[in-house]
Amino acid sequence: MNLEDELRAALRCKEPPPDFAARVMARVAAAPARPAGRAWVRWTAALAASVVLAAGALEYRHYEGERAKEQVLLAVRIAATKLNKAHRKIQMLNHRSNS
Amino acid sequence: MKMTELLIVFGLLAGLASGQQVRWNSEKLAAKASDSVDVTLDGPMLRLATKFLSSEDGDERQVKKLVAGLKGIYVKSFEFKNTGEYTAADVESFRAQVRGPGWDRIVGVHSTEEGENVEVYIKSDDGEGKKISGLAIIAAEPKELTLVNIVGPIDLDTLSDLGGHFGIPEIEADKKK
């Protein structure tokens, strides 16, 4: 038997035994119900996940704020330096023309 | 008119309506620079930064007061390894952006000796320079080019006063006034 025939034989459709559905339903009925006491575990896990997410968001906001503050200080420092440089040059020129 | 064209026109109109932000296209220079600083702080980020600036620390208190009413701060500073890495045409293209209506050049310093140029422009709403609604600084040095644009009512005296802080020497003569 070649590979193709083997595959065809293995994948051939088969009818389930007549009591298949009944056996499945019996197993489902016999399966133990999920204990109700576990609900609080799920709620606690969800709450913990929310707290972690909120803390992360808060931390990120704090990081963004600190970064924005540093950028403002840097920008003002650069602007003030350049403005004063121009100021100083004007004063130097005034001083030269007066003396 | 196609949708993209409409969007471009709308964007341009929105830019004009938003006021004084200068659109400096400096990607070419950024690629050539050995070091660069690019600060872009618009309204929401400025408001957030203001919340983080201390009201107790002297310098930060002054900066907080200065930026409280601003709509945006944009700074681009490029340092180059060699002279001549940016051209006069580059500077002229930046200058052209502050030649629009409402802008006035209040300071223009040119030093041949040191090869430095500093130009300060203000935008005023009343056209008389009493109510400043924007500031632009173009500072060109042989190996450094800095562009500053502050949008909103800026107090030049306070900004100048900050020159005495952050390790920048204060101009004593001016303080005697």
pLDDT score, position B20: 62
Q: Phi and psi for B102 in degrees, rounded to 5?
A: 95, -20
**CA closest to A89 among chain B residues:** B109
- Of A68, A69, A87, nearest to B163 by C-alpha is A87
**Domain ranges for chain B:** 27-167
Nearest-Cα distance to chain A for B11, in Å, is: 26
Distance CA B25, CA A16 (A): 73
Residues of A in contact with B156 (CB under 8 A): 83
Residue A34 tokens read as 């999920």
B173 closest CB neighbour out of A66, A78, A91: A91
Distance CA B89, CA B99 (A): 15
Q: Are B163 and B62 in contact (CB under 8 A)?
A: no
Instruction: Please write the tens of the pLDDT for every residue from B127-140.
Output: 666 678 899 999 99
| Complex ipTM value | 0.78
What value does the mean pLDDT take over residues B9-20? 46
Lowest-confidence region among B66-70, B134-138, B155-159: B155-159
Confidence check: pLDDT of B101 > 70: yes
Q: pLDDT digit of tens for each residue in chain A (99 aa)?
A: 678 888 888 888 888 888 999 999 999 888 877 666 678 888 999 999 999 999 999 999 999 999 999 999 999 999 998 888 888 878 777 777 777
CB atoms B168 and A77 under 8 Å: yes
Confidence check: pLDDT of B1 > 70: no
What value does the mean pLDDT take over residues B60-88? 91
Task: Give pTM, 2 decimals.
Answer: 0.71
Residues of B in contact with A83 (CB under 8 A): 120, 137, 156, 159-160, 163
- Residue B116: in which H helix or E strand, if any? strand B116-124
CB atoms A65 and B52 under 8 Å: yes
Count Cα neighbours of B158 within 13 Å in the Cβ-side half-sphere. Answer: 15
